């Protein structure tokens, strides 16, 4: 793909490079074994969603092209490229699991069986557990190619079995086999069964193997020839971008429920499955070649997150306790503190409870008149939602803009909005053609000051109002009563509410209005500084960089001599180490916390401009969403942001360079022997601890 001689990585191949970086954490022997297992789980979970959403798009393109008698080459080639890379990664995945993880568990006295042939001292227990706990939930069904057969549910593991009648008259061959399918019922049962300890060792068995060990009792009268696991991923993507608001909730819920019966995007199977067996399944379930993905003995290894830990915390990574914010510890009233100064919160290094306190105090403060919040993804049984419900019950005017199009959170968002409506909260659903991704909370309060009768307070964040993810997502949030910023926030909410608005944002950068021109202007200013013989420097920290217009602007800045550091966790379509990108470095950090904050830094001729935002530089964020970027003006807070960016750029332990081949090149492998080790997430914690005198 080229434009003006520039090149770009394919979005989805770049994403696979990121997910491979996640997988590499499982190889890091410096980490406790259950931390490494966690990354195996995350890798699998990421890949499942990737096939449901991204790969499904290519399959849809393929079908549409065939219908229109157009070329299918590009979509097919991308699917082949993706499957080839995933197959290679999954081979390494199982090598890590079998050759590194299992031996390390064994060294710690934990034996995770990799066979259905359990030790003699476990046979009685396994048989009893199967008969009492498992057998009642099994529903085996015969597979007949030319007949109606069972529907394979999305994301569930099935065992497929080839059988031979014991009292047969003909010699045995595959033409005389009977085939059956059976869903593993681990929504009712644990995926892992802890067996009695013996000889100082702890034993754990996959439910898959426990069933296999007792398969003859499921099919009496048959010999078990072969038994393997399979799994189907189905298209979970749908678009309501251009829908109007009428009945949008009902339409979204109908489409969410249809996800479970979407088209096949991936058919995973044990690579040891014989050809005869795979061929029969493909014909019976109409599986196409490009949907086939060979895998290992065990599928759905996202479940490794639930692997029992009978030894205890010594095998897990212990995360530090969130730091206190001295200003908020010295004064119980968040609003009173905000009258004097802005506050910058760094999650999860500092507690999300301060934001909850802000909302809860607003809910009970008799002078608070109104609260407005955007909701994208909230936790189940959300403390944020409970605070808003309390506010409404206390007579406040509460308005919540609920984004029903937040993928995989549609149903949870709908249910939480129903609860709020019942309490008197005004709910505004999705905007036509746009997703609202901005993270804003706005509080209006009556003041005793006759010259300033209304006070405004706000929270602007880079991440969701979700107390659960805030423990593991690294985000930032600004609490402020700055009148100019409050004015702009009020204007944003007028846009969301469909009210008349001036849209002359003075401080906030808002997509659909002034964000894109402002970004281009700041980049051009850095170019101008270089042309004047001064220094030009940009640091951009984001989850993803994909928009070609933005990438081209960075390429032009690099050609002009502007130094650019990119800290991109996930997708990065910009190609480094090219003549037009020689001044651009791409850093990727994967560690205990998910790097989620988006930060923009421009040297600005020495004035140093910083913005925090929820917006990645993706086409969808910049063109099809409402996003907000907000400046940080208070010098001490701005200095914190810049210092933390520099710490992340100095990381030589968890950070990698992304090179021109999309390789993850560990900085620690390039570091000189006398270079001090820097692990950014630990260093940031230490920095914040020291700066707050703790």
Helix (H) or strand (E) holding 469: none
Gap between the Cα atoms of 460 and 496, Å rounded: 16
Please check the confidence at residue 93 and state whether its pLDDT lies above 90.
Answer: yes
437 is catalytic: yes
Please check the confidence at residue 20 and state whether its pLDDT lies above 80.
Answer: yes
Which residues are within 8 A (CB) of 389 and not within 5 positions of it... i.e. 6 or more apart? 419, 420, 423, 425
Gap between the Cα atoms of 221 and 209, Å rounded: 21
Lowest mean pLDDT among 55-59, 64-68, 94-98, 279-283: 64-68
- Contacts by residues 449-452 (CB-CB < 8 Å, ≥ 24 positions apart): none
Per-residue tokens: 104: 């390390």
Count of CB atoms within 10 A of residue 60's CB? Answer: 16
User: What is the per-residue pLDDT for 415?
Assistant: 81
Residue whose pair of structure tokens reads 């079998």 in the numeric block: 98
For 299-312, the pLDDT digits (tens) are: 999 999 999 999 99
Gap between the Cα atoms of 102 and 98, Å rounded: 6
Q: Where are the beta strands (DSSP E) in 23-120?
A: 110-112
Gap between the Cα atoms of 350 and 141, Å rounded: 53
Q: How sure is the predictor about 465, in pLDDT bands with cuts at 50, 70 and 90?
A: very high
Please check the confidence at residue 240 and state whether its pLDDT lies above 70.
Answer: no
Residue whose pair of structure tokens reads 């933005």 in the numeric block: 550
Please check the confidence at residue 238 and state whether its pLDDT lies above 60.
Answer: no
User: What is the per-residue pLDDT for 1?
Assistant: 42
For 577-609, the pLDDT digits (tens) are: 999 999 999 999 999 999 999 999 999 999 999
Indicate the pTM of the whole model.
Answer: 0.91
Please check the confidence at residue 65 and state whether its pLDDT lies above 90.
Answer: no
CA atoms 580, 585, 590, 592: torsion sign: negative
Q: For the chain, what percent of residues have pLDDT higher than 70?
A: 92
User: What is the per-residue pLDDT for 409?
Assistant: 61
User: What is the per-residue pLDDT for 2?
Assistant: 45
For 359-386, the pLDDT digits (tens) are: 999 999 999 999 999 998 887 788 999 9
- Given 59, 202, 346, 437, the catalytic residue: 437
For 34-45, the pLDDT digits (tens) are: 999 999 999 999
Q: What is the DSSP letter of 134?
A: I
Q: Which residue has the higher pLDDT, 414 or 533?
A: 533
Give the mean pLDDT of the chain.
91
For 161-188, the pLDDT digits (tens) are: 999 988 766 666 777 899 999 999 988 8
User: What is the per-residue pLDDT for 184?
Assistant: 94
Gap between the Cα atoms of 378 and 642, Å rounded: 29
- Give the mean pLDDT of 105-123: 94
Gap between the Cα atoms of 660 and 662, Å rounded: 6
Please check the confidence at residue 460 and state whether its pLDDT lies above 90.
Answer: yes
Domains parsed from the chain with CATH numbers? 10-108 (1.20.58.310), 119-248+262-300 (3.30.1840.10), 326-506 (3.30.870.10), 515-691 (3.30.870.10)
Please check the confidence at residue 405 and state whether its pLDDT lies above 80.
Answer: no
């Amino acid at each position: 793909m080229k434009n003006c001689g520039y090149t770009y990585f394919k979005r989805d191949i770049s994403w696979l490079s990121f997910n491979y970086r996640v997988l590499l954490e499982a190889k890091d022997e410096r980490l406790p074994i259950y931390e490494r297992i966690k990354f195996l789980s995350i890798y699998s979970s990421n890949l499942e969603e990737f096939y449901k959403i991204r790969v499904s798009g290519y399959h849809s393109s393929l079908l549409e092209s065939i219908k229109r008698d157009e070329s299918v080459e590009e979509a097919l080639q991308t699917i082949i490229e993706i499957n080839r890379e995933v197959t290679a990664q999954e081979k390494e995945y199982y090598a890590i699991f079998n050759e590194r993880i299992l031996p390390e568990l064994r060294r710690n006295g934990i034996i995770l069986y990799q066979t259905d042939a359990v030790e003699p001292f476990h046979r009685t227990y396994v048989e009893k557990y199967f008969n009492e706990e498992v057998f009642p939930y099994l529903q085996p069904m015969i597979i007949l190619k030319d007949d109606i057969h069972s529907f394979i549910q999305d994301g569930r593991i099935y065992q497929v079995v080839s059988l031979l009648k014991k009292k047969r008259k003909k010699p045995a061959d595959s033409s005389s086999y009977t085939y059956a399918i059976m869903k593993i019922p681990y929504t009712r049962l644990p995926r892992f069964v802890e067996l009695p300890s013996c000889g100082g060792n702890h034993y754990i068995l996959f439910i898959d193997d426990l069933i296999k060990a007792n398969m003859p009792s499921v099919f009496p009268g048959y010999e078990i020839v072969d038994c393997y696991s399979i799994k189907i991923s189905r298209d979970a993507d749908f678009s309501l971008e251009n829908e109007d608001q009428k009945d949008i909730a009902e339409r979204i819920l109908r489409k969410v429920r249809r996800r479970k019966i979407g088209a096949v995007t991936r058919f995973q199977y044990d690579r040891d499955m014989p050809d005869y067996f795979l061929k029969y399944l493909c014909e019976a379930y109409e599986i196409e070649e490009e949907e086939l993905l060979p895998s290992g003995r065990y599928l759905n290894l996202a479940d490794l997150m639930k692997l029992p830990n009978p030894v205890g915390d010594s095998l897990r990574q212990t995360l530090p306790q969130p730091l206190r914010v001295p200003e908020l510890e010295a004064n119980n009233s968040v609003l009173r503190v905000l009258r004097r100064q802005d506050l910058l919160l760094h999650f999860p290094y500092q507690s999300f409870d301060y934001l909850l306190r802000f909302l809860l105090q607003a809910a009970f403060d008799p002078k608070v008149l109104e609260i407005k919040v955007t909701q994208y993804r909230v936790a189940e049984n959300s403390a944020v939602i409970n605070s808003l419900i309390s506010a409404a019950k206390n007579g406040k005017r509460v308005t919540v803009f609920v984004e029903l199009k937040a993928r995989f959170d549609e149903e949870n968002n709908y249910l939480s909005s129903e609860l709020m409506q019942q309490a008197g909260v005004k709910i505004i659903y999705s905007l036509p053609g746009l997703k609202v991704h901005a993270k804003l909370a706005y509080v209006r309060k009556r003041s005793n000051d006759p010259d300033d009768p209304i006070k405004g307070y706000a929270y602007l964040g880079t991440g969701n109002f979700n107390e659960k993810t805030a423990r593991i997502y690294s985000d930032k949030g600004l609490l402020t009563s700055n009148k100019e910023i409050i004015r702009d926030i009020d204007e944003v909410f007028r846009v969301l509410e469909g009210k008349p608005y001036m849209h002359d944002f003075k401080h906030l950068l808002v997509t659909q209005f002034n964000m894109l021109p402002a970004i281009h202007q700041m980049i051009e200013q850095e170019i101008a500084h270089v042309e004047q013989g001064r220094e030009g420097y940009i640091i951009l920290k984001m989850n993803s960089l994909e928009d070609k217009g933005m990438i081209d602007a960075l390429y032009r800045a690099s050609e002009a001599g502007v130094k650019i550091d990119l800290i991109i966790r996930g997708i990065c379509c910009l190609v480094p180490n090219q003549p037009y990108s020689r001044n651009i470095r791409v850093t990727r950090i994967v560690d205990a916390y998910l790097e989620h904050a988006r930060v923009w830094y421009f040297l600005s001729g020495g004035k140093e401009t910083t913005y925090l935002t929820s917006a990645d530089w993706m086409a969808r964020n910049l063109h099809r969403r409402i996003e907000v970027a907000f400046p940080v003006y208070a010098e001490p807070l701005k200095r914190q942001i810049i210092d933390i960016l520099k710490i992340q750029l100095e990381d030589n332990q968890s950070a990698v360079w992304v090179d021109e081949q999309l390789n993850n090149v560990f900085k620690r492998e390039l570091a000189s022997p006398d270079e001090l080790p820097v692990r950014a997430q630990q260093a940031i914690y230490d920095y914040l601890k020291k700066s707050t005198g703790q």
